[in-house]
Chains A and B, each alone.
Chain A
Amino acid sequence: MNESDKQFEKAAKRHFDQSVDGLDAATLSRLNQRRHAALEAAQAPSRQWQSWMPATGVAAAALIAVVVFQSPSPDGLIEAPATDFEILLSEESIDMLEELEFYSWLDTQELEPGADVG
């Protein structure tokens, strides 16, 4: 380590110390509160259920991964319900509902190849 490295170290330390000394009152107050809260929390008995939290988190992440990866595409998840909704609300669909009897008849005609549809 040469002389200029040492000068750099001194300057870095000085700037850091000044930034520590310059911490504002609000931050110092928050630090003080955090310290007291930490000491109180450390004295309180630890809660058993918290030990299950990482396992629960992993299970939730795995579930999300399965849902995301098994979908054909990310857009498909949103498009399918939107398409159903559009079909349901479109004017054609209302017409179709009004003429449901006709479409039922048409469907039976298509199932019978020999039937006269014209």
Chain B
Amino acid sequence: MTAGTALFAVSCRPKATEARTLQKQQQLNQFLAEVERRALRIAEIGVRDRDEALDLVQDAMIKLARNYAGRGSEEWTPLFYRILQNGVRDWHRRQAVRNRVMVWFGKAKQDDNDYDVIAAAPDPAGRTPDEEIQNSEAMQGLEVAVHELPARQREAFMLRMFEGLDVAGTAIAMGCSEGSVKTHYSRAVHALREKLGEHWHE
């Protein structure tokens, strides 16, 4: 290799790195754009507040981009949901502590009662009013029932059913074994069916 060729190779290296970084950024942006709407709804069912859910999704995006952008894109989905689920769990812990402190000052927050599921229901998208009401009521019932599940069952159900992760991906996202995922999921389905009744989806 001549000195000129070597110099050319060295001068090209930063540009190649820059191009790779840019490409990774674009891939990450595309991945997040694909996943963000489902992630928002999943977080919203978990915390029952859209603004809080938006904050949690944004935090998960930042952490994924900061810590795992270099990983293979096939790993992003379970990693993203693992971060998001951790965020939801932390949110519940913070709420519990906050409520305990507020009790001391006589201002316990009554968040569950303040939440209006109908007001928070999404806008219609080209469906007839009857369909919209039926869907909205069915989803409202499902949302409340899912929210009332124990945390691990809720996570397993939402990741498997709503996000469509397989058992292995759900296990990574939940940080547990595949066997535990199957158990939590099966219990969640039975609990939901019992709660919603046989005729819920008809």
Contact = CB atoms under 8 A, between A and B. Distances in A.
A20 interface: yes
A46 B62 CA distance: 11
Contacts of A5: 189, 193
Contacts of B177: none
A27 interface: yes
Contacts of B37: 20, 23, 28, 31
Interface stretch (A33-41, A79-87, A104-112): A33-41
A39 B123 contact: no
Interface size class of A (residues with CB under 8 A): 35 or more
Contact of A46 (B32, B66, B138, B164): B66
Nearest to B138: A15
A11 interface: yes
A117 B36 CA distance: 87
Contacts of A23: 37, 40-41, 122-123
B40 A27 contact: yes
A13 B163 CA distance: 9
Interface string B109-143: 00000000000011111010000000100110010
A59 to B, nearest CB: 15
A15 B142 contact: yes
A18 B38 CA distance: 11
Contacts of B162: 12-13, 16
Interface in B178-202: 186, 189, 192-193, 198, 200-201
A30 interface: yes
A40 to B, nearest CB: 9
B73 interface: no
Contacts of B192: 8, 12
B64 to A, nearest CB: 8
A7 B193 CA distance: 11
Interface string B3-47: 000000000000000000000010011001100111011000000
Nearest to B162: A16
A96 to B, nearest CB: 35
B149 interface: no
A1 B36 CA distance: 30
Nearest to A5: B189
Contacts of B69: 42
B165 interface: no
10 contacts: A4-B193, A8-B201, A18-B139, A21-B125, A23-B123, A31-B57, A34-B54, A34-B61, A35-B32, A35-B33
